[in-house]
Amino acid sequence: MTLTGFWFLLIAVLWTGYFVLEGFDFGVGILLPVLGRDDVDRRVMINTIGPLWDGNEVWLLVAGGATFAAFPEWYATLFSGFYLPLLLILLALIVRGVAFEFRGKGRTPAWRSWWDRAIFWGSLLPALLWGVAFANIVRGVRIDAHKEYVGGFWALLNPYALVGGVTTLLLFTLHGAVFTALKTDGEIRERGRALGRRLSVPAAISVIGFLAWTYLNAVHSEHRGLVPGFVPVSAILAVVAVEWLLRERLEGWAFTATALTIVLLTATLFLNLWPRVMPSTIDPAYSLTADNAASSHYTLQVMTVVAAVFTPVVLAYQAWTYWIFRKRLTAPTSTRSAATAQEGGEDASLPS
């Protein structure tokens, strides 16, 4: 494998890890007003992702940094052409992060309600817009001979991209519902499992439709990448199995199935791209490829050494974090009674 191929693969792995881990974060945030019947429920849900969400976002930072360093032409065209949607994602993530920190600083229901809304919208917008962005990258955008994006914002809101956005939104929401059922006990667990079963059907339909459309686009453009047939088929089988796994109360396997669906869906998109990184709909010759968008060979060599040293350390630390916070959470009866009797106290009285 060439260095450009290695870094394309590594960036694909980083985005896949981000979508799998941040995906259930987004899902929990989206379902906060749905599964959280009262403040105690919502506090328990937030605590399920409290020790994890900021670490999960590191995957996004590393993916962006790796793209900038390994494929500067790709980074420049992507961030200039997709400036507005990426800015909206960034603002949503900032507001969401602030909401997690500030929600517990006030003692009134109104204060918490405002920050709960911020968590909801700060989770929903990225879950939708990431699908729109990646669907456009795979479909192709208007890139001219100077490797610059010449389409407008509204061109990004084409039917295929919107289906991609709906797919990631439904899939991440399902992922969050299953994670809630996996990480909590009592009434929240039951509600999470029941909602996950209901969400599994539209999520499966959306995944099947999006993958079918992706295949038809590849046939139409006569570029099918390197996608083995078993990859999208396995994604479909995994998401279809979620409803049965939840019905059988196998939350761990259901979470594995939703995670596997996200992995295989993302793999399908990146395999469909290779060796391109941003196809041009004006002329295939204008497309950005792994070769013409890459940094120098020496730069890639240095980056490879750095990645080989630090990547295992980061993975080991994050695995240790997930192991430490692996237990289910529940709201003690005394906590619920105290919250009902008076306002006050935040996450300190709940398990973290």
pLDDT tens-digit series, residues 291-339 = 889 998 999 999 999 888 888 888 888 888 888 888 887 766 545 544 4
Confidence band for 107, pLDDT divided at 50, 70 and 90? confident
Confidence (pLDDT) at 346: 42
**DSSP letter assigned to residue 198:** H
Confidence (pLDDT) at 333: 57
pLDDT tens readout for residues 18-43:
999 999 999 999 999 999 888 888 99
CA distance 85 to 125: 10
Cβ atoms of 298 and 244 closer than 8 Å = no
> Above 60 in pLDDT, residue 288?
yes
Encoded amino acid at 302, one letter:
V
pLDDT tens readout for residues 47-101:
999 888 888 888 999 999 999 999 999 999 998 888 999 999 999 999 999 999 8
CATH number among 3.40.50.150, 3.30.1200.10, 3.40.1260.10, 1.20.1630.10, domain 3-330: 1.20.1630.10
Domain range summary for the chain, segments of one domain joined by +: 3-330
What is 279-316 written as a DSSP string? -BSS-GGG-EETTTT---HHHHHHHHHHHHHHHHHHHH
Helices and strands of the chain, counted as H and E runs: 13, 2
Confidence band for 345, pLDDT divided at 50, 70 and 90? very low
CA distance 38 to 284: 54
pLDDT tens readout for residues 220-268:
777 767 778 889 999 999 999 999 999 999 999 999 999 999 999 999 9
